[in-house]
Amino acid sequence: MRALFPGSFDPITQGHQDVLRRAALLFDEVVVCVMFNASKTGRFPIAERLDRLRAAAAGLGNVTVDSHTGGLLVDYCRRVGIDVVIRGVRGVADLDYEMPMARMNHELAGVETFFIAADPALAHISSTLVTAMGQHDRVPNDDLGDREAADPAVEGAAAGRRHAGHA
């Protein structure tokens, strides 16, 4: 079965990577797709997000990377023949946000939503938080033992800001 893991991935975080790895174990094929979100202002260009997703998917043979910037998620699903959408949820607030969309996707196109609970060690991470840390050239300490490296997206956000001339 094919599944779609959509998001703005602006930037991709360790939480996204964890959900992607876990989804790849559950589905025959996972398409991770940069989607346009009208309620968010893009921080990184689509091409850079796609490159970062390809790097995150390295070693996951059943994962492909794509983008869809025009139309609804269900339009993309219909076009490529996908009936399942994967969403990572960090807590109740995420679920409250995702449930109406899941119901609408099902009503419009019969697309089911498969929720993957965030790893508790990563549940506090969001793209917004990663970007905020990067804007201040801050990389949080990692006291998780087996996760020795800080989130590369934080460092990428800081580098992207410096590259854009905001340092």
- Work out whether the CA dihedral 127, 133, 137, 142 comes out positive or negative: negative
Q: Assess contact for 144 and 122: CB atoms under 8 A.
A: no
Q: Greatest CA span in the chain, whole angstroms? A: 47
Q: Which residues are catalytic?
A: 16, 40, 90, 127
Nearest Cα to Cα of residue 74 among 28, 6, 9, 2: 6
Token pair listed for 74: 């269900």
